[in-house]
Amino acid sequence: MLITVLDLEREPLEFDLAIDPGAIDYSEEITQKGPLAVQGGAEVIEEHHGPREIISDIRLRGSYQGDFEMPCARCLEPVAHPVSGQFDLIFRPLGADRDAIDHSISTSETEIGYYQNGGLALEDVLREQVLLSLPVRTLCRQDCKGLCPHCGLDLNSESCTCEAASSDPRWSALSDLGSRIKI
């Protein structure tokens, strides 16, 4: 859904959508399970920069809720993650701050995004918000044993017959260091 300044200048936009799986590409590892429910609105905020320069910012507010799956970081089994959140974002035209004098920015200014060609895609905003809501690393359970580094067998369901990994000979000088150190 393209949100444009021209449309918002006529009237603010309200939306209540169900985004189908596959409509937004999160990454190869993240799968959306079922529709992503999104409600919110968008409006134009005019920012005056001097007597003749008016910058049209887009304020986008909303909430989202959906179910996602990611692979376990150790065994690669899918792990379910329900996701929900709210956002209140400001988008400024790309290049609007180009002539600004270098200065330190406030915390509120770190929340400003940029749009180009007169608008922004709601799907791009939702993609970013969902990715920020998901954990960086996920485990199917705390005691996940992972995959055997030699044969690739899932050690949670079976035991493999691979021998214990031989240590790297470059580390042999450190192997008995623990027995020589007295604390």
Report pLDDT digits (tens) over 8-25.
Answer: 889 999 999 999 999 999
The predicted-structure confidence for 41-58, as pLDDT tens digits, reads as follows 999 988 776 777 777 889
Give the distance from CA 20 to its chain's centroid: 18
The number of angstroms, rounded, from the C-alpha of 60 to the middle of its chain's C-alpha atoms is: 17
52: exposed, middle or buried (Cβ count in 10 Å: 0-12, 13-18, 19+) = exposed
What residue ranges do the domains of the chain occupy? 2-133
Alpha carbons 83 and 133: distance in angstroms, whole number = 7
**For residues 69 and 140, what is the distance between their CA atoms, to the nearest angstrom?**
11
